[in-house]
């Protein structure tokens, strides 16, 4: 009986003694210039190795006081106390393997399906040009547009979040908005911009036939007021010898130059256009006739 009691005592005490001794030996086995790093179960040189080995391919160590340990195949700190490991850009810390690994390349996100009117509230409508919901009737207290920018005075207001003017009601199949006098509608950027015609231009813009002939006699005289271009008026058998003074920056039938000389463009003659304008010498298509769709750059209609 006594023998059995002793055996039971040894079975309980000996494993505890061995484990306690092993735990102590972990740290006590380190040299005076070393400390015990429990996560890797090894002794590490205080202050780090003089010439630490380089980590293997596709592996690196944190840049805030860590070195590679070839024996343990992991990164170890240089001091017993350390801050949170910080990897270089493009690398991520792996606490399980104690090393920095390359961050996986970001997978291009699938373009989200544009919002539709189904996402708007009953008091809102969907504005497809900016893919957003807008309050019907306009914003109660809209912000003011930035300098050198206006919104059409009727039915439009500035939207700070979108950086453009937005309508108070749906604009489907409606003509382009009208800006204040001296301002032109920029359909690409959805805002009114100052008109570049010089202020107080001499009038009349289109001289009479007698005026044409009288001015043409003086070769060096300016035929048209400043800012307007003298465009020949075609006759039945060619040029009539007369001209008309046009602002080819905004002239619908001579956009960008005199259409009679082949330089400009007649925006109304573009195939499939329904609502069209001339802005800064380029035709701007707002809507297209049935069977056509508006081009991405808004300068023509493409047949479906």
Give the pLDDT confidence of 27-46 residue by residue, as tens digits: 668 888 999 988 888 999 99
Q: Where are the domains of the chain?
A: 31-81, 122-195, 209-303
The chain-wide mean pLDDT, for the chain, equals 78
Distance CA 107, CA 220 (A): 66
**Distances 74 to 42, 54, 69, 79, 303 between C-alpha atoms, Å:** 11, 11, 6, 16, 64
ω into 204 cis (within 30 of 0):
yes
Res 133: pLDDT = 92
Res 234: pLDDT = 75
Give the pLDDT confidence of 162-219 residue by residue, as tens digits: 999 999 998 877 778 889 888 888 888 999 999 764 444 444 444 433 333 333 333 3
Distance CA 117, CA 68 (A): 57
Res 208: pLDDT = 38
Res 182: pLDDT = 86
Res 100: pLDDT = 93
CA angle (59, 64, 68) in 5-degree steps:
40
């Amino acid at each position: 009986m006594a023998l059995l009691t002793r055996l039971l005592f040894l079975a309980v005490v000996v494993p505890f003694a061995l484990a306690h001794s092993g735990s102590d030996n972990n740290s006590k086995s380190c040299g005076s210039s070393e400390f015990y790093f429990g996560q890797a179960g090894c002794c590490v040189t205080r202050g780090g190795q003089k010439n630490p080995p380089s980590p293997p391919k596709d592996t690196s160590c944190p840049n805030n006081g860590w070195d590679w340990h070839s024996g343990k195949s992991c990164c170890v700190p240089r001091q017993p106390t350390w801050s949170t490991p910080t990897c270089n850009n493009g690398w991520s810390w792996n606490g399980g393997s104690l090393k920095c690994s390359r961050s996986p390349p970001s997978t291009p996100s699938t373009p989200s399906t544009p919002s539709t009117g189904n996402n708007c509230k009953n008091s809102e409508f969907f504005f497809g040009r900016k893919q957003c919901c807008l309050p019907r009737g306009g914003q109660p207290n809209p912000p003011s547009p930035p300098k050198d920018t206006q919104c059409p005075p009727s039915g439009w207001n500035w939207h700070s979040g979108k950086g453009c003017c937005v309508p108070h009601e749906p604009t489907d199949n409606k003509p382009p908005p009208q800006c204040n006098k001296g301002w032109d509608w920029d359909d690409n950027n959805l805002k009114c911009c100052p008109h570049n015609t010089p202020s107080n231009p001499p009038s009349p813009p289109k001289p009479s036939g007698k005026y044409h002939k009288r001015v043409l006699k003086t070769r060096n005289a300016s035929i048209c007021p400043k800012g307007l271009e003298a465009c020949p008026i075609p006759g039945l058998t060619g040029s009539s010898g007369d001209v008309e003074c046009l602002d080819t920056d905004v002239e619908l039938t001579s956009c960008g130059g005199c259409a009679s000389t082949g330089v400009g463009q007649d925006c109304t003659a573009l195939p499939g256009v329904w609502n069209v304008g001339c802005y800064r010498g380029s035709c701007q298509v707002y809507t297209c006739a049935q069977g056509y769709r508006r081009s991405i750059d808004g300068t023509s209609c493409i047949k479906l």
